[in-house]
Amino acid sequence: MAKKSFLTPALLARTLIAWAVTLLVFFPLGWLFLTAFKTELQAIAVPPEVFFTPTLENFHEVQARSDYLLYAKNSLITSVLSTLLGLAIAAPAAYSMAFFRSRKTRDILMWMLSTKMMPAVGALVPIYVLAQHTALLDTQLGLIIVFTMSNLPIMVWMLYSGFKDIPPEILEAARMDGATLWQEFRQVLLPLGLGVLASTGLLCLVLSWNEAFWSLNLSSAKAGTLATLIASYSSPEGLFWAKLSAASLMAIAPIIVFGWFSQKQLVQGLTFGAVK
Amino acid sequence: MAFLQLKGVEKYFGDLRAIKGIDLAIEKGEFIVFVGPSGCGKSTLLRLIAGLEHIDNGALTLDGRDITHAPSSKRDLAMVFQSYALYPHMSVAENMSFALKLAKEDPKVIREKVERAAKILNLTPYLERTPRALSGGQRQRVAIGRAIVRAPKVFLFDEPLSNLDAALRGQTRVEIHKLHRDLGATTIYVTHDQIEAMTLADRIVVLRDGQIEQVGTPLELYDRPANQFVAQFIGSPQMNVVEGRHLPQVPDVPAGGFVGLRPEDVTVQAAAQAAAGGLPGTVELVESLGAETLIYVATDSGAQIVARQATRTGLHNGDRVGVFVEAANAHRFDAQGRAARAG
């Protein structure tokens, strides 16, 4: 920039605060990254070692002790399918709420959101018993259903705010042009709502991937996701910080890379309706 | 039976009776304009005909077929929206051919029809552009083009010109008029602008509070308004309506009734030169529009009267004047505002 760029005290303060917050958020991740390449002894050393000779030993051991790929596959299948199932349910719901509003629409939306305010553990026993009786315990299908249910309120909300930004006359014009409901959805709403559908899908993918409560309680060896893999390293025999870190790093790496590339879509989706 | 027939059509929004039993017969090829103040139900009535709102009571038939409960897509009507409502993700050509593609027309026929419509509307150079890259007037023409390629049974226009600036509005109005003359298609046009209504319509339907006040040709409404509301809605500046007791010059006014005078039937003369028999008053405002001059007068008896004259005036605010009226052209209304014929 050719213009004068001068550092005012206010700007300096803001920059410092921003860096401080960023470091605060990043620190656990950074520490996790470092620990994953340490030996168990280095990992618990006091004072902590910042400079050390990195080792890949932990990753070998994690892979040897438990089948990383199985858990990764479970995570991938459950998060992708629950996202697709969620979109398939949420999109028609959001469509009817956004374009055929009634006096109860607002209440229904608030009620949906209110279910997210309930602690999940409150529903644990009934859902566990239901899963047990329907043979869905420790199955991918069981997790897919639960993930979908827990993400639906957010999906409906996001899609609703996104769809509301689409002028209803455009859909009416399609109807006047002779479009059936499906054609209206497929040829007009889908292309126009692609942005919000994509960001809703991305967010739910991330949420499902990171989901720990339900996967820990409803799955183990067969359908367990990466969250259960990580948890298995904090076992009664003791904490293995280095291995736990290595497992965590392997679990979060795919979603971090994925999130990095899709962050523009994600941010756009989260601010739908808030800014034009 | 009429081409498009509305029988006792009603619409409720919750408890609100928005459309209160409309009976209307529209003939093939007619240009009908729905006009009325905001909230009178004219757009709702159009949306009921389009099938975008559900008809709660009554019946709607088109070309002998009952379409009261038919979905919009099966009515064979085309609509031009106030906001244009073009498909932003499609090119102009795709916008115009969308309906034909849905109807599974032969691609060759589609191309011909789109090209013909584009030529009529001067859109040929823009066929590959997206709506975003067009001006407001061009978008409006695409919306009209989208309607005409389909050759629907009826064209519906919902305030199509209100998003255009004044110059473009006049120009597009003339184009729509010519288009109707060339295509001869049955058209229903909604507007709140009575100039559009007067210039475009074969027949005007004046609506108020979800009811029809009067149906007739533009000049019928101008010359023989059924009531005070229609009299004052049609014509600009609006008709002077004053209590009968202020104007003893006009005979046969019903007791407690009103006299209506078009501004062109009122003349104003400076008090000094005024002949006898003029109504004394004071000039409140003079609007010089070039081709015509509007003079607003407050009479000593307390009436507000506006006069329109084709010549310029030397009068100024505050001047004392005499007001003369063309009693032969006066309209008479009873105390309820209904038109009463003289003698």
The one-letter code for the residue type at B133 is A
Those residues whose C-beta lies under 8 Å from the C-beta of residue B190, and which sit 6 or more positions away, are: B33, B34, B35, B42, B43, B45, B46, B156, B157, B158, B159
**Same domain flag for B12 and B148:** yes
Q: Is the dihedral of CA B199, B201, B203, B209 positive or negative?
A: negative
CATH of the domain at B208: 3.40.50.300
Q: Is residue A240 left, alpha or beta, with left meaning phi > 0 and alpha meaning psi from -120 to 50? A: beta
Residue B87 is nearest to which of A170, A175, A176, comparing CB atoms? A170
pTM, rounded to two decimals: 0.82
Range A219-245 average pLDDT: 81
Is the pLDDT score of B286 beyond 60?
A: yes
| Residues of chain B contacting A178 with CB distance shorter than 8 Å | 73-74, 99, 102-103
Strands (E), B29-97: 31-35, 57-62, 65-66, 77-80
CA distance B75 to B102: 14
**Looking at this predicted complex, what is its ipTM?**
0.86
Structural domains in chain A, CATH included, are 16-57 (no CATH), 67-270 (1.10.3720.10)
How far does B72 lie from chain A, in Å, by closest CA? 5
Structural domains counted in chain B: 2
pLDDT in tens, A74-118: 999 999 999 999 999 999 999 999 999 888 899 999 999 898 888
| Strand pairing category for B211-216 and B57-62 | unpaired
pLDDT at res. B14: 87
B130 shares contact with chain A (CB less than 8 Å): no
CATH of the domain at B328: 2.40.50.140
Neighbours of A18 (CB within 10 A): 10
Per the document, the length of chain B is 343
DSSP alpha helix (H) spans, B152-266: 166-183, 194-200, 218-223, 228-233
Is the pLDDT score of A236 beyond 80?
A: no
**Same domain flag for B225 and B310:** no
| Residues of chain B contacting A165 with CB distance shorter than 8 Å | none
Smallest CA-to-CA distance from B224 within B197, B257, B170, B260 is with B260
- Backbone φ and ψ for B189, nearest 5 degrees, come out as -130, 125
CA distance B17 to B123: 42
**Same domain flag for B87 and B105:** yes
Report whether B174 contacts B166 (CB < 8 A): no
B110 shares contact with chain A (CB less than 8 Å): no
Residue B102 is nearest to which of A103, A167, A178, comparing CB atoms? A178
**Same domain flag for B91 and B115:** yes
| Structural domain range at position B272 | 238-340
User: B12 forms bridges with which residues in the sheet?
Assistant: B17
Range B70-82 average pLDDT: 93
**Same domain flag for B184 and B91:** yes
Report whether B212 contacts B230 (CB < 8 A): no
Is the pLDDT score of B214 beyond 50?
A: yes
CA distance A240 to A234: 7
| Strand pairing category for B211-216 and B203-208 | antiparallel
Last residue of a domain, one of B204, B232, B260: B232
Test the B interface: residue of A176, A180, A189 with most B CBs within 10 Å: A176
| Residues of chain B contacting A175 with CB distance shorter than 8 Å | 51-52, 71-73
Contact assignment for A170 to B77 by CB distance below 8 Å: no
How far does B80 lie from chain A, in Å, by closest CA? 8
Smallest CA-to-CA distance from B187 within B176, B198, B173, B195 is with B176
Range B314-323 average pLDDT: 91
How far does A189 lie from chain B, in Å, by closest CA? 10
**Same domain flag for B250 and B169:** no
pLDDT at res. B215: 96
Contact assignment for B146 to A178 by CB distance below 8 Å: no
